[in-house]
Each structure stands twice: as C-alpha cells, then as structure tokens.
Amino acid sequence: MQKFRDAGMSPTAHQLTNEERKTIAAAFATLPPLHQRVLKQHLKSISFLDNMPNTALTSPVTTVEGINLYHITFRAGILHQTISEWVTEKERTCFARGDSTITVSVEAGMLSALTYIALHEGTHVVDGSLHLIATDTIAGQSAPNTFTKSFAQGIWKNINTPEWPVTDSMVLKSRFRAGGRRFLTTEAAKVYTALSQTPFVSQYSTASWHEDLAEILTVYHLTHVLKQPFRLVVSQNGKPVFSYDPMSSASVKKRSEILKRFYTQ
C-alpha cells in the first residue's frame, strides 16, 4: 500500500462481505491440483484493496525455513465483475480511441473475474515456488531447465525475447512490449489475425515467458476444465465482423501437452 501511496495513489483496505468471501472461496476451489498443493505451502496471504490502480500484484514476502512465501493483492472491484466483463475491459486498454463504430470484446463466460485472475496470479506463485521457468547455472553459463526448454523451445530466447519466426508481427508491437503502442480500433482485426499466427493466447502473453505461462494455463483451464468460452470479437455498429478463438489454433494446441504438469495428482 505504501508503494502505491508513494506513487500518488490512495488505496484502502477493503472490508469483505460474506458474499464476497463466498466468491473468493469458489474461485480458489477451481484451481488445478498443482496450484492447490503449492499454494497451501507457499501462499502466505491475500488481500483486497479499493482504489488499486492495477488488477492484482503477486509479491514474494518472506522465506520461512527455506520456503519462499508469497502474498497476492487484488483490486476489490473484480469481485463484482464476470470474466467477460473484466477481460474485455483489459483488452480494450490495448486500443486507442479511434473509429467509435468499432469495438473489441472478449466472450469468456459468466464466472467471477476472480476465477481468471486467481488462476493467473496463482500460476506465478507455482512458477516462482517450483522454479518452473528458470535457468540453471552450470560452469558459469546459464541453460534452461527441462520445463523451460520444453515450454520455450522455438518461442522464447529468454525471459522477454521471442524466438518464433514471425518476429515482425503486430502482436510484438502491443503496449505490453517495450516500445509498444496502443493500436487503433480500425487495426483490431489485423491484430487478432496476427495473433492467430502465433503460439500465444493473448497479447499479454508476449510480455514475458512468465506471463505467457500464466496466460496459456489460465485460458486452457478456463476452456478445457471449466468449459467456458474464450473468444476475441471485433464488432462494427454492434455486429460481429471478426472473431478468434485462441485455443482452436494449432500452434497453441501443440503447447497444451506441457500443461499436464499442473494436473498431476
């Protein structure tokens, strides 16, 4: 909270209602088996803030007997949004105001937005706790561990440098990349056409290989386990003119095999 205040913001602790507590319990109950086990050991606490500028923040807080512990702070407003509402809100930040007749939305079901966000942030805790994506230092040289090698092969050179062939794609020019920009709404269909030619499920996936893991696992779990939709839609004058389902992409499907790690009993 102090960091936010130092940046000129004024977050306050949110007092949870009984209904909100039920929403939180339901969201965490949907997490994959590996998340359930790791979070019981490594997630020290969670909290909710009002007037928080971003959606969530996962932070390492301490180490107890050699075990790294994490805290996740959530913006309280997400407790009253559906996944479709929240993901649409986030996706629209990728576009500057342009042609007002063109809109971008995401059809992702009516579950609580916290379900998606707990999946995403929980994956960061699992990733950090188990060092899933990391490099091993051998004789002064860094080499990817087994999971990293399988996950990143042909896609990432390192934490934020893509390796896949279409390196001049519009997707790598989004606001989530260094030097990126907000696209015009008139470019939306081109952006998602470009995304369909990549192994990424979202624009945010391109931020780093850690975000890539969190995004693909979240969308996979949402669609394959929770049986919810995940479809990017561009509309003009209220009528859909383009849509894309990332999980239908062959290059995305190929990456699903490694996600089985999260479902072992």
The answer to whether 130 and 38 have CB atoms below 8 angstroms apart is yes
Q: What does each C-alpha distance from 240 to 92, 105, 175, 206, 233 come to in angstroms?
A: 16, 10, 24, 26, 7
Most confident of 169-173, 213-217, 251-255: 213-217
Please tell me whether residue 112 adopts helix, strand or coil conformation: strand
pLDDT band of residue 139 (cuts 50, 70, 90) is: very low
Residue 188 pLDDT greater than 90, yes or no: yes
Q: φ and ψ at 78, to 5 degrees? A: -70, -15
pLDDT band of residue 10 (cuts 50, 70, 90) is: confident
Work out the burial of residue 37: count CB atoms within 10 Å of its CB; fewer than 13 is exposed, 13-18 middle, 19 or more buried: middle
Contacts (Cβ under 8 Å, ≥6 apart) of 69 = 42, 43, 44, 60, 61, 62, 63
Mean pLDDT of all residues in 167-181: 89
Given this model, what pLDDT does residue 67 score?
Answer: 87
Residue 170 pLDDT greater than 80, yes or no: yes
Q: Where are the domains of the chain?
A: 2-263
Interhelix angle 113-130/33-42, rounded to 10 degrees, is 70
Q: Could you say which DSSP state residue 82 is in?
A: B
- Taking only the tens place, the pLDDT of each residue in 48-99 is 999 888 899 999 998 878 889 999 999 999 999 999 999 999 999 999 977 8
Chain centroid to CA 75? 15
Task: Determine how many CB atoms are found less than 10 A away from the CB of residue 74.
Answer: 25
Given this model, what pLDDT does residue 197 score?
Answer: 92
Nearest to 204 by CA among 97, 77, 54: 54
pLDDT band of residue 169 (cuts 50, 70, 90) is: confident
Whole-model pTM?
0.92
Nearest to 115 by CA among 70, 83, 80, 72: 83
The answer to whether 80 and 48 have CB atoms below 8 angstroms apart is no
- Taking only the tens place, the pLDDT of each residue in 194-224 is 999 999 999 999 999 999 999 999 999 999 9
Mean pLDDT of all residues in 153-172: 86
Residue 138 pLDDT greater than 70, yes or no: no
The single residue listed with the structure tokens 């389902």 is 245
Q: Which residues of 221-244 are buried (b: 16+ CB within 10 A; e: fewer)?
A: bbbeeeebebbbbbbbeeeeebeb
Least confident range of 21-30, 63-72, 133-142, 250-259: 133-142
Residue 157 pLDDT greater than 80, yes or no: yes
Mean pLDDT of all residues in 2-16: 85
Alpha carbons 173 and 167: distance in angstroms, whole number: 10
